[in-house]
Structure 1
Amino acid sequence: MALLVELLAMAAAGALGWLGGRAAVEHVLAKGAELGGEDLRSAADVHALALRASLYFAAGIVALIVGRLVSARRGQVSVPAPLILPALCAAVAIGFSIQMGYGDPLHRAGWPGPAFAKGFAIAGAAGAVVLLLPWDPVALTGPFHAVLPALMVAAFVALGLFGSGTELAEDTRINLGGFQPLELVKLAFVLFLGHSLGRRAEKLRHQRDRILGLDFPRKRLLVPAVLVLLVLFASFILVHDLGPLLILSLVFLALFYVVTRAGGWVVTALVVVTLLVVLAVHVPAISGSPKVALRMRMWTDPWTNAQPNGDQIALARWAIAAGYVNGQGLGYAPPLALPAGHTDLVQAHVAEELGAVGLVLYLLCLAAVAGQGLVVAALNRTPERVVTAAGLSALLAAQWVVIFSGTTQLLPLTGVPVPFLSFGKTSTITFVLVAAMLARLAEDGRAREVTSELAELRRACLTVLTAVLVLVGAGVVVVIEEGVVGAERTSARGVITLLAPEPGYPHGRVTEKYDPRLEAIAARIPRGPILDRDGRLIAGSDEAGKRTYPLGDAMGTLLGPPEGVVLRPLWMLERLLAYKVRGYPERSDGHAVWLAREPEGGERLLLIVSGEEERPEDRTRAESMAGGDAVRLLPLPSPDFRPLVPLLRAGGAARDAALARVASDVASRTARITIDARLQQAASGILRRAAARGKAAAAVVMDVSTGQVLARAQWPDFNPGDEAFLKRLEDPEFATRDPKFTGMYGPWPDKTGLRGIYQGGSAAKLFTAVAAARAGLLGHGSACPAQAGPVFACVNRDAQGPYFIKPGWYAPVHDIALDSPHGHIDFEQGLAVSCNVYFSQLGLQLGPDAFQKLVDDGLEMGWGHGWYKPGKPGSRDLALTAFGQHAAMMSVSQAARLAGTVGSGGTYRKCPPSMELGAQCEQKQLLQDPHVIAPVLAGMEKVMTNGTGRGLATRPGLPPGLRVYGKTGTADSIGIEEEKPWGVEVGVYGKPHSWFLALAEPESNAPCAPTAARRLAFAVVIPRGGLGALNAGPAALEVIQAADKLGLFGAPAPGAQASPSPSPASPPSPSAR
């Protein structure tokens, strides 16, 4: 009855393999049709080949059933072994199903399934012969065991002279004339040890010494045993692969322990093998193989080794993670996602298609064959049979451990096949023979009398059995960790590698690859539209999926290109809103690489860092490695695919349905931002004209009451949908090819944000004003006061203009040369006439802590509080900072928020850089009493009536019905290296930066009220644009006029006509203002 159940189990495994192969073929056919190409088979040809392969597979199963039937019925005193051949058939059924679904059956060179089936048919026949012969493997090979070492040495020498490599390691020497003799060498090695050690088992067991609580073989035995391990290391040098060394060493370790039961030997052998592996890792030249050296690098650093083809472990771990619990389904794995998924990395392929469940099932099959083989060994009747059966089981377990550990990064990846799964006739035949020999050794194998010698061997075999089961159990844990617990983390990781050399890049280009499965999913989800605050289209997609941009070059820098061909900086909305419009964001902690220019062209990699911002210590290290060559930091695109992982796990046909649902749900991928497309278009046109008076121009318009940005424009800018621009992105040297495009004043950098931080000049006096109001120096009121704040003297003048100096300063601080001394003036007048002398004295009275505390509490200046240093108490630097020089640097966005802080009673508001409508904005109350800001508003109003901005009332003119509070700014700045392409001399003061900040509101609001309805903040900068009142000021007033015509202050003024919308409208947003 037990035999019948065993044979039925073998038949059932064969039937499941047949059905699995058929299902895999159906799914893989559709996959191959999608690839297209030439040299195709027809579907009918594929089905015919699949049927023939299935018949081969069935023939192998039938042969084993017949052999087992005859062997079991012939045996009289057999060791029960009902699991070995059913588990073998189940494991091969998994292999057959996987191989039939791998690759592309429509193309003649890309489908391993039929060849695998033919190899198993041969293996099944060979296994049946072993079972049918009247002699067991020990008796059969006994007369020839003395010649086995010579055959093994001959095989290694032949491989060293004539061997060839595998798909993943071409320069290893594993293949010889179409087969892998190393697999047969391993079998011969086990049979030789079975005879040699079995015959000497009793003597070896008694040759032990106890040291430190462990039994060690005596020196005359231990030294030769260690020498065997060293000789095996020579095999690594000969064949350029670590796998045979590890496998044969583990087999020898196990068998020498079986015959000696010396725990000290196990420790010694493990130490020796570990030292040899460490030597191979740290001195990879020993192998003479670049591929082996690469595998050592991949083992120690699988994700950032930056080596050509250094992504093999990453590819395997992506596949395991993609399978999750139940897998993608037979035949559903992408055909090109896992090279060598039919050979070295086949376990990863099993995990991808059958999930952690399928791979664990394979491990259980393996444990059943090896475990029951060790039981057969433990219960057998002669020492030779015991050691041989133990060796066969140890070989099976060692082979699996080595390649499984390489696939999962526990050990270096090697080129050895996976038992019962890998494509390759030699390995299939070898391991089917191993299982058949174990089953044959069970026949008539039971010991009729258990001698003390057999009892010792039995205990040793059971110890090895425990070790094997522990290893398989650990493998199960690793599968669950890699395929389930850590699957999402692994799927979302990128691997940095080098592309193949190309013209201009002889060393190849550094790139970061991501799981191609997730990239394919992302490519099938159309990008959603970006709409303005009222539903007007800012970015959309046409029917072909091409991105369209109705605003053209009015907003290109802010939007950025649609795809991450190059790293899109953090300000670009197509990146920031990717989580919304694409369903996934970009990582903020992605990698960047330091590169050095090569004299012959291209660049070489120096080091890899985390984060996109340059750090001084990284630059120092890169320059020390570059040997004088120019270096640069290149951030790498870093999509965060984690939100797409649920779609990956849907698997098979279910994923297609899920993707279709996601793709059709455009509403969920529609992003609305706070920008008003009409105002953005108008501001862009104004800045285009204003930039002619300097090197560039930038402007920001902000709603004071909410902090929302209504316009954020610059010039020069670019059209992100322009074909010429998109072609430019494909240039490997995009970042450095054209400094006029990617440099400081070019279209690529965001001149409204961190790439547009300039000296603030007198516009930054508003920062000092807020600090003074916070300190209580200005008084307060609910209306515009006639006088406010401390009075300071501006009475001295020299050839450079009015000045102020303190004892110990190396030079005075000056007002503009055209000014006369302003006399004894209060704060309101000092702000109106923008008196540097006044503000330097005000800053000295405030002290540096007032400035520093304001930055620390959230009012941004320059690059943040870690950078901001206003100067020491009483210092000239502090005086300079107070009137807009030294530490007073800001971007136009920071300037708009500064003006907004003044216009909101001291409340600082900052919305996220994505400007998404409805997103929560940062809000900090910097002034406890909002009314203390009234003197600042009074001074800004006086700027426009009889101060530095009074001329703007006539050119270009103030919009009727509006009240404008303003502040001009003219900032001296020394030329820097980045400005050279625009003709700015480095190291000397050039033309100053031109600034203008303003608040505008309906005249119906009370003047100088700390808060007011429909109050908007405006900031304009023209780098190297000259006087603020003459250049930035008129541009700002034009933007205010445009906002008024669009009705942003309420109904447009009488006679004013709103500008037409530059983009089509969608239904208005519920939160539209």
Structure 2
Amino acid sequence: MALLIELLVMAALGALGWLGGQSAVAHALAKAAAISATEVRTVEQIHAQTQRSCVFFAAGIAALILGRLVSARRGVVNIPSPLIMPATCAALAIGFALQMGYGDPLHRTLWPGPEFAKGVGLAGGAAAVILMLPWDPVALTGPLHAVLPALMVGVFVALALFGSGTELAEDTRINLGGFQPLELVKLAFVLFLGHSLGRRAVKLRHQRERILGLYFPRKRLLVPAVLVFIVLFVSFVLVKDLGPLLILSILFLTLFYVVTRSAGWVVTALVVVALLVTVAIHVPAVSGSPKVALRMKMWLDPWTNAQPNGDQIALSRWAIAAGYVHGQGLGYAPAWALPAGHTDLVQAHLAEELGTVGFVLYLLCIAAVAGQGLIVGALNRTPERVVTAVGLAALLVTQWLVIFSGTTQLLPLTGVPVPFLSFGKTSTVTFVLVAAMLARLSEDGRAREMTPELAELRRGSLAVLAAVLVVIGIGVVVAVQEGIVRAEATSVQGVITLLAPEPGYPHGRVTERYDPRLENIASRIPRGYIVDREGRLIAGVDESGKRTYPLGDAMGTLLGPPDPIVLRPLWMLERLLEAKVRGYPERPDGHAVWLAREPEGGERLLFIVNVQEERPEDRARAEAMAGGAPVRLLPLPAPDFRPLVWILRVGGRGRDAAIAKVAANTASRTAHLTLDARLQGAVSQILRRAATKGKAAAAVVLDVNTGEVLARAQWPDFNPGDPSLRERLEDPQFATRDLKFTGYYGAWPDKTGFRGIYQGGSAAKLFTSVAAARAGLLGSGSACPAKAGPVFACVSRDARGPYFTRPGWYAPVHDISMDNPHGHIEFIKGLAVSCNVYFGQLGLQLGPEAFKKLVTDGLEMGWGGKWYDPGKPGSRDLALTAFGQHAAMMSVSQASRIAGTIGGGGIYRKCPPSMELGAPCEQKQLLPDAHLLTPVLAGMEQVMMNGTGRGLVKTPGVPPALRVYGKTGTADSIGIEEEKPWGIEVGVYGKPHSWFVSLSEPLKAAPTPCQPTVARRLAVAVVIPRGGLGSLGAGPAAIEVIQAAYKLGLYGPTQELESAAGVPPSAAPGTSPSPRISPSPTASSSPPRP
């Protein structure tokens, strides 16, 4: 009855294998149907070949059933072994289904399934012969005992002379005439040891010495053992493959222990192996094989080894992680994700398609065959049969262990076949024969009586059984750890590798790759739209998934390219909004590589760093290693795919639907900005004209009451959709090739922010004004006062203009040379006429702590932090800072926020750099009472009425329904190295920077001027580097920006404002409509419409 059940289970497993193979092929064809490529087979051919393969597979299983039936019924005193053959059939069924569905049978020549099926058929026939012969394997090979060593040596010599390697390891010698004879050599080695050690078991057991509590073979026995290891090492040198050496060494060690029971021998061997591995790690060249050296490097550093083909362990672990619990499904694994998934890494392929559950089932099959085989050995009737059975079981477990350890990074990866799973008829035949021999040794195998010799061998065999069960148990733990516990972390991990040589990169190109499954998912989800505050399109997506840019070069610097060909700076919205528009962000801990230019072209890797920003110490190290060659830092892509992992977990059957659902939900990936697209385009055009007065131009328009940016533009700028941009970015010398593009005043740097910090000049007097108001020096009020603040004298003049000095200063501070002394003036007059002498004295009265405390509390200037040093008390530097020189450096973004603080009741507002609409903005109450700033507003009003900005009221002209508060700035600045490409002499004062900072409000909202807060108030800041006087350069541009905002209705409906102000209505602006994203009540949004 037990035999019948066993045979029925084998038949059922064969049927499951047949169905699994059919299902895998169907899924592989469905997967291939989505690929556009040249077909190498027709669907009809594939189905026909599938049927033939199923017949071969079924024939092999049927042969095993027949052979087992004959063997089991013939035996008289059999050792029960009901698990060996069913477990073998189960493992073969798994292997058949995996190989039939592997790859792309429709478009790729490689389709391992049919050949694997032939291997199963051939193996089943050979195993049936072994099972049905009247002689067991020991009796059958006894006459050949003396010949086996010569045959094994002959195979190694033949491989050394005529053998060939694999595609990924051409230096090895493992293939001979279309098959791998080393698999049969392993089987022959076990049979040889079974005879040799079995016959000498009694003698060897008594030849032991006890040293340090452990048994060791006597010295005269160690000589032949050492000779065996020497021969094995020579074989490794001949074939240049580490796998056979490991397997044969472990086999010999195991069987020598079973016979001698010398635990000291095991400890010594482990110590020697550890020493050899240590030597191989520190001196990889000792192996003499580039492949072995590479695999050592992969083992030590699987993720950042930067070696050609150094991503094999990463590919394996990605596949295991992709399977998670239940797997992707048979035939659903992508054909391009695991190149060695049919050979060395087939266990990873198994985990991917059948999950951790399938992986553990396979391990249980190995445990069943080997465990039952060891029991067969322990209970057998002769020493030769015991040692042979233990050797066969140990061969199976050792072969699995070596490749499993390499697949999961427990040991260096070796290219040995996986029992019952790997493509290749030789391997399949070998391990089916191993199982058949174990089953055959159970026939009439039970010992008639227990002798001391057999008892000792039994104890050794059971010790090996215990070790095998522990090893398999560890394998299960590792499978669960890799496939479930650490799956997400593994899936999103990147691997740095070296690509194959290509034009321009003769030595290959360093890149960081990610799990291709997640990359494929990401590529199928189009980037979301970027729209303005009213839904007008700023960056869209066409039908092919390519970005479109309605604003063209009005916003390129701020947007940046959609993909990280180079490290996009922190100001670029495509980087800041990654998590929103593509559904996943960038990792903050991305890698970067330092590269050195090679004389013959291309670059070589120097070292890898874990930060993407350049550090001085890294540059110094790179230059020292480069030997004078140019070096550069190349940040590598660092996508954080964690938000997409759930789609990977859905499995192959449901993935397309999951991706389609996410892709359709464009609303969730649409980023709404605070910008007004119409105003952005208008400001860009204004700056394009204004930049002709200097080297560049930049402007920011801010909503004072919210801190939201309505426009942020610069010139020069670029169009992110221009094909030539990608060519620039792909140039290894991008950063230095064209400084007119990437340099100080080029289109690439952001001149509204960090890369646009210039000397503030008189525009920075607003910062001093806020500090003075905060200190209470200016008084307060609810309407414009006529006078405010302390009075200082501006009465002295020399050839350079009005001046002020103090004892100990090396030079006085001056006003502009065209001015006359202003006399004894108070704050409002001083601000209106922009008197440097007045503000210098005001700053000295305030002292440096007032300036530092204002920066510390949140009002940004320049690069902030420890950089900001206004000067010591009473120093000339402090006076310079107070009127806009020395530490008074700022960007237009900072200038607009200073104006916003003045016009917003003393609240400093700063919104996130992503400018997402609705994102919480930082707010800091810098002044306790908003009325303290009324004198500052009065001074800014007088700038426009009677001061340095009075000419702007009529030309270009303030809109009649608006009130403008302004401050001009003309900032002297010494030429710096970065300005040289633009003709600026280094170390010499050149043409000054031109500034204008303003607040503007509708008269309807504020019938009387200088109100601390107003319902609608905009801040506008403009800078034209090297643009000359603020009143002639930046001032007119700022007024044009205000006009544009007015015409677009950003202060309110134009006609209502003009009617309330009692002025004739102006003509409606001729603005063209912008593309807009239509709102949608559903999760997905409509495409842009004109």
Q: Name the TM tier (shorter chain).
A: over 0.9
Find the counterpart in structure 2 of residue 136 from structure 1: 136
Q: Any idea what the Cα deviations from partners look like across 1:1013-1068, whole Å, max 9, x if unmatched?
A: 11111111112222222211111111111111111112224315235245123447
Q: Residues 142 and 793 from structure 1, CA distance in 2 versus in 1: closer, same or farther, beyond 3 angstroms?
A: farther
Does the CA contact (< 8 Å) of 1:168 and 1:415 recur in 2? no
Q: Any idea what the Cα deviations from partners look like across 1:365-412, whole Å, max 9, x if unmatched?
A: 111111222222222222222222222222211211211121122222
Find the counterpart in structure 2 of residue 1063 from structure 1: 1074
Give the aligned residue type for 1:707.
G
Does the CA contact (< 8 Å) of 2:328 and 2:653 recur in 1? no
Does the CA contact (< 8 Å) of 1:533 and 1:1069 recur in 2? no
| Matching of residue 1024 in structure 1 with residue 1026 in structure 2 | yes
Q: Post-superposition shift, 1:795?
A: 4.4
Q: Post-superposition shift, 1:811?
A: 4.4
Of 1032, 1051, 1054, the residue aligned with 2:1053 is 1051
Q: Residues 441 and 963 from structure 1, CA distance in 2 versus in 1: closer, same or farther, beyond 3 angstroms?
A: same
Find the counterpart in structure 2 of residue 1036 from structure 1: 1038
Find the counterpart in structure 1 of residue 613 from structure 2: 613
TM-score by length of 2: 0.94
Find the counterpart in structure 1 of residue 709 from structure 2: 709
* Counterparts of 1:854 and 1:442, CA distance in 2: 89
Does the CA contact (< 8 Å) of 2:60 and 2:123 recur in 1? yes
> Aligned ranges for residues 812-961 of structure 1 at < 5 Å?
812-961=812-961
* Counterparts of 2:1072 and 2:247, CA distance in 1: 73
Q: Residues 863 and 615 from structure 1, CA distance in 2 versus in 1: closer, same or farther, beyond 3 angstroms?
A: farther
Greater mean alpha carbon deviation, residues 825-834 or residues 103-112? 825-834
SS at match of 2:858: coil
Greater mean alpha carbon deviation, residues 1049-1058 or residues 331-340? 1049-1058
SS at match of 1:595: strand
Find the counterpart in structure 1 of residue 412 from structure 2: 412
Give the aligned residue type for 1:295.
R
Find the counterpart in structure 1 of residue 1087 from structure 2: none
Q: Residues 734 and 487 from structure 1, CA distance in 2 versus in 1: closer, same or farther, beyond 3 angstroms?
A: same
Find the counterpart in structure 1 of residue 553 from structure 2: 553
Q: Post-superposition shift, 1:18?
A: 0.4
Q: Post-superposition shift, 1:39?
A: 5.3
SS at match of 2:768: helix
Q: Post-superposition shift, 1:526?
A: 2.7
Does the CA contact (< 8 Å) of 2:40 and 2:109 recur in 1? no
Give the aligned residue type for 1:675.
L
Find the counterpart in structure 1 of residue 592 from structure 2: 592
> Aligned ranges for residues 643-658 of structure 1 at < 5 Å?
643-658=643-658
SS at match of 2:970: strand
Q: Post-superposition shift, 1:68?
A: 0.9
SS at match of 1:402: helix
* Counterparts of 1:144 and 1:417, CA distance in 2: 27
* Counterparts of 2:100 and 2:585, CA distance in 1: 37
Greater mean alpha carbon deviation, residues 844-853 or residues 58-67? 844-853
* Counterparts of 1:1068 and 1:107, CA distance in 2: 44
Q: Post-superposition shift, 1:723?
A: 3.6
Find the counterpart in structure 1 of residue 680 from structure 2: 680
Q: Any idea what the Cα deviations from partners look like across 1:591-633, whole Å, max 9, x if unmatched?
A: 2222222222222222222233222222222222221222222
Does the CA contact (< 8 Å) of 1:367 and 1:472 recur in 2? yes
Q: Residues 176 and 768 from structure 1, CA distance in 2 versus in 1: closer, same or farther, beyond 3 angstroms?
A: farther
Q: Any idea what the Cα deviations from partners look like across 1:756-782, whole Å, max 9, x if unmatched?
A: 222333323333333333344433333
Find the counterpart in structure 1 of residue 198 from structure 2: 198
TM-score by length of 1: 0.95
SS at match of 1:1020: strand
* Counterparts of 1:1069 and 1:1050, CA distance in 2: 27
Find the counterpart in structure 1 of residue 1061 from structure 2: none
* Counterparts of 1:1064 and 1:791, CA distance in 2: 55
Does the CA contact (< 8 Å) of 1:315 and 1:515 recur in 2? yes
* Counterparts of 1:792 and 1:473, CA distance in 2: 87
Find the counterpart in structure 2 of residue 105 from structure 1: 105
Q: Residues 823 and 268 from structure 1, CA distance in 2 versus in 1: closer, same or farther, beyond 3 angstroms?
A: farther
Q: Post-superposition shift, 1:896?
A: 1.8
Q: Post-superposition shift, 1:212?
A: 4.1
Greater mean alpha carbon deviation, residues 283-292 or residues 117-126? 283-292
Q: Post-superposition shift, 1:62?
A: 0.8
> Aligned ranges for residues 414-563 of structure 1 at < 5 Å?
414-563=414-563
Does the CA contact (< 8 Å) of 2:566 and 2:634 recur in 1? no
Q: Any idea what the Cα deviations from partners look like across 1:236-276, whole Å, max 9, x if unmatched?
A: 33322222222222222322222233333222211211221
Give the aligned residue type for 1:1025.
G
Does the CA contact (< 8 Å) of 1:246 and 1:273 recur in 2? no
Find the counterpart in structure 2 of residue 259 from structure 1: 259
| Matching of residue 61 in structure 1 with residue 72 in structure 2 | no
Does the CA contact (< 8 Å) of 1:768 and 1:851 recur in 2? yes
Greater mean alpha carbon deviation, residues 295-304 or residues 800-809? 800-809
* Counterparts of 1:202 and 1:836, CA distance in 2: 107
Q: Post-superposition shift, 1:21?
A: 0.4
Does the CA contact (< 8 Å) of 1:327 and 1:356 recur in 2? yes
Find the counterpart in structure 2 of residue 764 from structure 1: 764
Q: Post-superposition shift, 1:28?
A: 1.1
Q: Residues 311 and 844 from structure 1, CA distance in 2 versus in 1: closer, same or farther, beyond 3 angstroms?
A: farther
Greater mean alpha carbon deviation, residues 339-348 or residues 870-879? 870-879
Find the counterpart in structure 1 of residue 788 from structure 2: 788
* Counterparts of 1:250 and 1:797, CA distance in 2: 97
Give the aligned residue type for 1:299.
W
* Counterparts of 1:39 and 1:3, CA distance in 2: 47
Find the counterpart in structure 2 of residue 986 from structure 1: 986
Q: Any idea what the Cα deviations from partners look like across 1:612-664, whole Å, max 9, x if unmatched?
A: 32222222222222212222222223222221111122122311122222222
Q: Residues 90 and 1027 from structure 1, CA distance in 2 versus in 1: closer, same or farther, beyond 3 angstroms?
A: same
* Counterparts of 2:251 and 2:798, CA distance in 1: 95
Q: Any idea what the Cα deviations from partners look like across 1:410-437, whole Å, max 9, x if unmatched?
A: 2222111111111111111111111111
Find the counterpart in structure 1 of residue 1062 from structure 2: none
Q: Any idea what the Cα deviations from partners look like across 1:692-717, whole Å, max 9, x if unmatched?
A: 11111111111111111111111112
Find the counterpart in structure 2 of residue 1013 from structure 1: 1015
Give the aligned residue type for 1:57.
F
Q: Post-superposition shift, 1:678?
A: 1.0
Find the counterpart in structure 2 of residue 278 from structure 1: 278
Find the counterpart in structure 2 of residue 334 from structure 1: 334
* Counterparts of 1:18 and 1:495, CA distance in 2: 38
Does the CA contact (< 8 Å) of 2:329 and 2:653 recur in 1? no
Q: Residues 530 and 260 from structure 1, CA distance in 2 versus in 1: closer, same or farther, beyond 3 angstroms?
A: same
SS at match of 2:939: helix
SS at match of 1:1029: coil
Greater mean alpha carbon deviation, residues 642-651 or residues 950-959? 950-959
Q: Residues 388 and 825 from structure 1, CA distance in 2 versus in 1: closer, same or farther, beyond 3 angstroms?
A: farther
Q: Residues 923 and 204 from structure 1, CA distance in 2 versus in 1: closer, same or farther, beyond 3 angstroms?
A: farther
Greater mean alpha carbon deviation, residues 80-89 or residues 832-841? 832-841
Q: Any idea what the Cα deviations from partners look like across 1:952-983, whole Å, max 9, x if unmatched?
A: 22322222222222222223333333333322
Does the CA contact (< 8 Å) of 2:303 and 2:314 recur in 1? yes
Give the aligned residue type for 2:1050.
L
Does the CA contact (< 8 Å) of 1:226 and 1:269 recur in 2? no
Give the aligned residue type for 1:598.
E
Find the counterpart in structure 2 of residue 669 from structure 1: 669
Q: Post-superposition shift, 1:87?
A: 0.9
Find the counterpart in structure 2 of residue 323 from structure 1: 323
Give the aligned residue type for 1:1010.
P
* Counterparts of 1:824 and 1:145, CA distance in 2: 118
Q: Residues 211 and 846 from structure 1, CA distance in 2 versus in 1: closer, same or farther, beyond 3 angstroms?
A: farther
Find the counterpart in structure 1 of residue 35 from structure 2: 35
Q: Residues 620 and 397 from structure 1, CA distance in 2 versus in 1: closer, same or farther, beyond 3 angstroms?
A: same
* Counterparts of 1:350 and 1:956, CA distance in 2: 74
Does the CA contact (< 8 Å) of 1:551 and 1:1063 recur in 2? no
Find the counterpart in structure 2 of residue 167 from structure 1: 167
Does the CA contact (< 8 Å) of 1:534 and 1:1069 recur in 2? no
- Equivalent pairs counted in the alignment come to 1070
Q: Residues 445 and 1017 from structure 1, CA distance in 2 versus in 1: closer, same or farther, beyond 3 angstroms?
A: same
Q: Any idea what the Cα deviations from partners look like across 1:740-769, whole Å, max 9, x if unmatched?
A: 223332222222222322233332333333
* Counterparts of 1:770 and 1:208, CA distance in 2: 93
Q: Post-superposition shift, 1:823?
A: 4.1
Find the counterpart in structure 2 of residue 694 from structure 1: 694
Q: Residues 715 and 808 from structure 1, CA distance in 2 versus in 1: closer, same or farther, beyond 3 angstroms?
A: same
